[in-house]
Amino acid sequence: MSGHAIRFEGVRFAYGGTEVLHGVTLDLPAGSAVAILGPNGAGKTTLTRLLIALLRPRAGRVTVGDWDVATKRPDEMARRVGYVFQHADQQLFERTVQRDVAFGPRCLGRPAAGVDRALEELGLVAVADVHPYDLPPPSRKLVALAGVLAMEPGVLVLDEPTAGLDRVGRDLVVAALRRRNAAGVTSVVVSHDVAFVAETAERVVVLREGVVAADAPVRKLLSDAAALAPLGLEPPPAAALGLALGLPGAPIRVEECVAALGGVRWRGA
């Protein structure tokens, strides 16, 4: 699985008359794990839809690896970009989880190995023969995510992947995304779930009113309450605890916070 670099060059986009993106330039090297934050209506989802040719820029260029997205159709971009919609469970239609997860690979003519790996990663092996709509809604969301992971894309785009998931589901998505990034896959996540962003992203791009307002390492931004406040966000619990206790190294992930707490003594309740 090799990742692809993503490049936005002066991209402008408008819905009808109103321009939503006013010249966005971004360079995401292959394998980078990026999160996009910003208030609603800032153009986050619009930006990601340009990556898979669902939208055409009014000006500027979007490239994935050596492909200029403007020259491709969405079903062609699907060979390189795995796009998971926020309400992705609405795309399920096969009679079993296994068959639905295999739909993408079948369309692309890719081997079924990716299907079994995706089912494994998201804890769906036990329900492979169950009808997706006989599962509760959060599990359907995992099935839809598995359906995109199974295509083994070089780029992953996730729109609010953790909304409605329970603790176990979130941990599975975190592990799956980390494993893919480690294998060189580039990932772009749009999410309000700062804890999830802290656990998975290395870099955060803040989009406000259609322009890139900030582009910083995740550690710097997510431990800066003042920077997050205007976005209606707060630092994740791990970062908040680190700040409250003045822990060294500005931890933002759970395991980082645990490490920084090494040797601390706790009072009984």
Footprint (CB under 8 A) of other proteins, residues 97-126: 103-104, 107-108
Q: Is there a contact between 127 and 121 (Cβ–Cβ < 8 Å)? A: no
Collapsing DSSP to helix, strand or coil, 172 comes out as helix
State which of residues 26, 37, 77, 156 lies at the interface with other proteins (CB under 8 A). Answer: 77
Question: What is d(CA 256, CA 191) in angstroms, rounded to the nearest whole number?
Answer: 21
State which of residues 16, 17, 111, 136 lies at the interface with other proteins (CB under 8 A). Answer: 136
CA 188 and chain centroid, separation: 5
State which of residues 155, 158, 207, 238 lies at the interface with other proteins (CB under 8 A). Answer: 238
Stretch that binds other proteins, among 61-69, 91-99, 111-119, 216-224 (CB under 8 A): 91-99
Taking the least distance from each CB to other proteins, the nearer of 17 and 244 is 244
Other beta carbons less than 10 A from residue 123's beta carbon? 17
> Smallest distance from the beta carbon of 90 to other proteins, in angstroms?
4
CB-based burial label for 265 (10 Å; 0-12, 13-18, 19+): exposed
> Smallest distance from the beta carbon of 261 to other proteins, in angstroms?
4
Tell me which residues in 49-68 interact with other proteins (CB under 8 A). 49, 52, 54
In which element (H, E) is residue 57 found? none
Q: Is there a contact between 133 and 96 (Cβ–Cβ < 8 Å)? A: no
Count the site residues for other proteins by CB under 8 A.
71
Tell me which residues in 8-47 interact with other proteins (CB under 8 A). 40
* Residue 68: DSSP 8-state: E
Token readout for 214 is 């900030």
Q: Can residue 240 be called a binding residue for other proteins (CB under 8 A)?
A: yes
> Smallest distance from the beta carbon of 110 to other proteins, in angstroms?
9
